[in-house]
Structure 1
């Protein structure tokens, strides 16, 4: 989100600088009426450019948000699957007291159950962590792609403004 805000600020700053540069160029080379018309065109173009850039930033942000929401949904499905399987394992373990013949058997059964559940919990946690890392990576890639496109456009616009007017 901070990247999008910074990108929008940079877009606004770039558009303002471009407009000021173009206005200065027009003032140096044009007559009064032509200068006013050209200034209006530059202002209009800058506003249109800023609007398009802001819309693109918002689109990238919403796409990144959708990617993260899908990642969260998948993570919750994993946790729910783990919970269901844990309940099933515990239900099956309730049958073991019928097979226990000594206090040592009770202790061994409890130790095995605790070890198995800890293993299952750690494996599930690693899966969920991996899913969330992939979702965050995909979301950041989308935002980075947008930032790269904005930077590329700014470089291109700057190069166009540096060209002498015909």
Structure 2
């Protein structure tokens, strides 16, 4: 979405339906600290979430592993969705296309924290440990590790498995 907004330093961006603040924090990353982002949401808990200093630090880690750059957007491994399957089928000349998306969300068994730190979410991403070293100050890293480790070791980690089934007719 931010690709269609002409972000510039000093402007004000209204993020309506802020959720976890991803759009607003990404706008700040792109345009710099002088951009003003007004975050609104009907969910008071979500708005409080954006005020927690943990949120922008966590989003900075996610942004390092899943960069919002032209290169990342051009690579299927980092920018791919179910709509792409439909587009590929259309481009290949198929008709009567049907897509079913199944998402299973459940708790996952936790890896040891040290293994998690050294694991990459996809082949092009740095590990969390590498992100901490390159993107964080010593104090930020200590703070992030305490908060993330507590969440990670709580056993309340959710994982999502996504499977898309596409059927179509070849004319």
Q: TM-score, normalised by structure 1?
A: 0.21
Q: TM-score, normalised by structure 2?
A: 0.21
- Which is bigger in relative contact order (C-alpha 8 A, separation at least 6)? 1
Greater strand share, structure number: 2
Greater helix share, structure number: 1
Name the larger-Rg structure: 1
